[in-house]
Amino acid sequence: MPEKLRVGFIGLGLMGRPMSLNLLKAGFPLIVWNRTQSKADSVVKAGAMLGRSPANVATRSDVVITMVSDSPDVEQVVLGSGGVPTGVIDGAQRGSVVVDMSTISPAVTRSIAQRLAEKGVAMLDAPVSGGTVGAQNATLSIMVGGDPEVLQRCMPVFQALGQRVTHCGPNGMGQVTKLVNQIIVTGTLSAVCEGLLFGAKAGADLQAVQRAVSGGAANSWQLENLGPRILSGDFAPGFMVKLLQKDLRLVDEAATEMGLPLFTTLIAQQVLRVAANLGLSDEGTQAYIKALEAMAGVQARTPSS
């Protein structure tokens, strides 16, 4: 039996921390790094080694996972810029693999993959859907762009992190697929909120409405999961407003570059800006309805919530 892949993990935030713990549970030798070192403590206590820098992590790993916030963060930890003196690229061995699981720009992804390829390092873009619950329970859906042979080599790692692993095409296509996912999530959320608000304004019993419409062609994950939270006034984040805004900025950038008109998606983006302006950036995306409520002068839930 071949030895376990040595895994490096950079970015131990709300997603990265539970994911790295799952890799330890699955028995992978793990070396971690985080910009704020204190966030690595609990993972090191659970059995991980602590790297001195992204480059040091890369030197000691077969597969380096990055799970950070945005395109510039990935550029910094992989290419070594913006206050990160030595990036993954400065330490990575020829034949090793960088797996970026952040949600970032497809174009930036392709450019980083190109830079790594020049050093003989492979890259996969492998953004995920499923949120912190999916990260904890290892039930993430993983959308992979890059060489299918490299994906096969990394499969044991992915299997420790998620349930559904889909190869979507060459580098960048994992990110494109994730952005498709976010476009559909946003529009469906908007549809659910506008429907509920229409019912509220017309004086309907929203519990009955939710029951009636979830039985057919109007049903969705958003309606089933966020509808009841909206009606009970639960705005705790499964996925935060500000993170959906970041993803829609990536959608908007890519659509602008491609000359693609996106009618309802970009209107929904404006409503999310209203939500942010109301101070709801750190609430769950279901707070979308609070922005609509503020603009409509009606509440789609009990006033106490």
Stretch that binds its own copies, among 77-85, 111-119, 153-161, 265-273 (CB under 8 A): 265-273
Out of 10, 98, 123, 185, which residue is the one contacting its own copies (CB under 8 A)? 185
The interface with its own copies within residues 90-119 (CB under 8 A) comprises: 106
Torsion of CA 67, 173, 153, 123, to 10 degrees: -60
User: Is 230 in contact with 209 (CB distance < 8 Å)?
Assistant: no
Q: State the catalytic residue, choosing from 178, 201, 242, 246.
A: 178
Both tokens of 286, joined, read 């279901």
Shortest reach from residue 301's CB to its own copies, in Å: 15
When binding is defined by CB under 8 A, the residue of 25, 119, 164, 273 that contacts its own copies is 164
Site for its own copies in 24-63 (CB under 8 A): none
The total of other beta-carbon atoms located within 10 Å of residue 234's CB is 14
Q: Which of 29, 91, 130, 237 binds its own copies (CB under 8 A)?
A: 130
Nearer to its own copies, 22 or 34 (CB): 22
Residues numbered 190-209 forming contacts with its own copies, rule: CB under 8 A: 190-192, 194-199, 201-205, 208-209
The contact pattern for its own copies, residues 283-302, with x = CB under 8 A and - = no contact, is ---------x--xxxx----
Q: How far apart are CA 181 and CA 253, in angstroms?
A: 16
For every residue of 241-297, DSSP letters joined together read: HHHHHHHHHHHHHHHHHHT---HHHHHHHHHHHHHHHTT-TTSBGGGHHHHHHHHHT
Helical axes 173-201 vs 206-213, angle rounded to 10°: 130
Backbone angles phi, psi at 286, to 5 degrees: -65, -15
String of DSSP letters for 88-122: HHHHPPTT-EEEE-S---HHHHHHHHHHHHTTT-E
Q: Does 4 qualify as catalytic in the annotation?
A: no
Least distance from C-beta 65 to its own copies, angstroms? 19
Of 187, 242, 281, 299, which one interacts with its own copies (CB under 8 A)? Answer: 187
Which of 41, 180, 256, 273 lies at the binding interface for its own copies (CB under 8 A)?
A: 180
Report if residue 184 touches its own copies, rule: CB under 8 A. Answer: yes
- At its nearest, how many Å lie between its own copies and the CB of residue 177? 5
Interface pick for its own copies out of 58, 262, 272, 287 (rule CB under 8 A): 262
Please list, in sequence order, all residues whose beta carbon lies within 8 angstroms of the beta carbon of residue 62, skipping any fewer than 6 positions away: 5, 6, 7, 93, 96, 97
Q: How far is the CB of 116 from its own copies (least distance, A)?
A: 21
Residues annotated as part of the active site: 178
